Amino acid sequence: FVSSCRQSPIHMWDAVTGQLRSSYRAYNHLDEIVAAYSLTFSLDGTKLYGGFNKMIRVFDTSRPGRDFQKRPTFTGKVGGQPGIISCLAASPQGGGLYAAGSYSRGIALYYEPDGKMVCVFEGQQGGVTHIAFSPDGTKLYSGGRKDPEILCWDLRKPGQILFVALRHVETNQRIYFDQDSSGQYLFSANHNGHIYVWDTKRAPIQRTPDTDFMLEPISVFRAHDDAVNGVR
């Protein structure tokens, strides 16, 4: 697994022994080390994607050091993905597809081999803090800071929201969600100490014609007396 912290390289650790295996260094235009805000591996583990300010850097995991590929996400022109790349996820179906979320509230899909941007989604109320593909790769879930909505995007019709799942997210703290191995059940932590569970196979409800479809939880239980920021 990998870790990142301020003014330090990206470190890869041995999950069994806990020993440092390798380090990957990102530098800015002043030749200073810059830390990644988000990290994820490619599906085959040969690439490590790092999220930076208006930039994704791609490292070859077999070549530790300061060699990396720079992929700007925003150049100041129309389009692109501005802001800090706050979260990353690789598609479980392969094909070189990966997604990036930013604090500017945008989510973009990119394709290998050159990291070409395919499309951009916008819909979160706050900066995007977590994204995750469904196990079959047909859907993408996203959540934001100070944003109670988990959005489910249909990747077969890019930009279309399949449903919204509501939770309690009241600060800038990252509040994570997860799925079971089948992708049927969605779980989320909450600021109120509860865990919410949704069955994604159930039909969502549209309360009025001009609102998104809402998915109601099938289970809610109190897991802690304080905020719960993650489930697994």
CA distance 151 to 140: 8
Residue 139, domain member (yes or no):
no
Task: Find the domain containing 114 and state its range.
Answer: 2-122
Q: What is the pLDDT of residue 159?
A: 82
Q: How many domains does the chain have?
A: 1
Q: Any idea which residue has 């489910």 for tokens? A: 152
In whole angstroms, give the CA distance from residue 87 to residue 73.
Answer: 13
Residue 128: what pLDDT? 97
Binned at pLDDT 50, 70 and 90, residue 194 comes out as: very high
Burial class (CB in 10 A: 0-12, 13-18, 19+), 162: buried
Q: Report the pLDDT averaged over residues 189-193.
A: 93
In this structure, is residue 213 part of a structural domain? no
What is the overall mean pLDDT for the chain? 94
What digits encode the pLDDT tens for the residues 88-141?
999 999 889 999 999 999 999 999 999 999 999 999 999 999 999 999 999 999
Is residue 62 included in any domain, yes or no? Answer: yes
The mean per-residue pLDDT over the stretch 150-166 comes to 93
Which CATH number does the domain housing residue 59 bear? 2.130.10.10
d(Cα 91, Cα 215) in Å, to the nearest integer? 24
At residue 79 the predicted structure's pLDDT band, cuts being 50, 70 and 90, is: confident
**Could you tell me if residue 81 is inside a domain?**
yes
Give per-residue pLDDT as tens, 17-75: 999 999 999 998 888 999 999 999 999 999 999 999 999 999 999 999 999 999 999 98
Residue 165 included in any domain: no
Q: Is 190 within the bounds of a domain?
A: no
How far apart are the two ends of the chain, measured CA to CA in Å?
A: 16
* Residue 49 to residue 88: CA distance in whole angstroms: 8
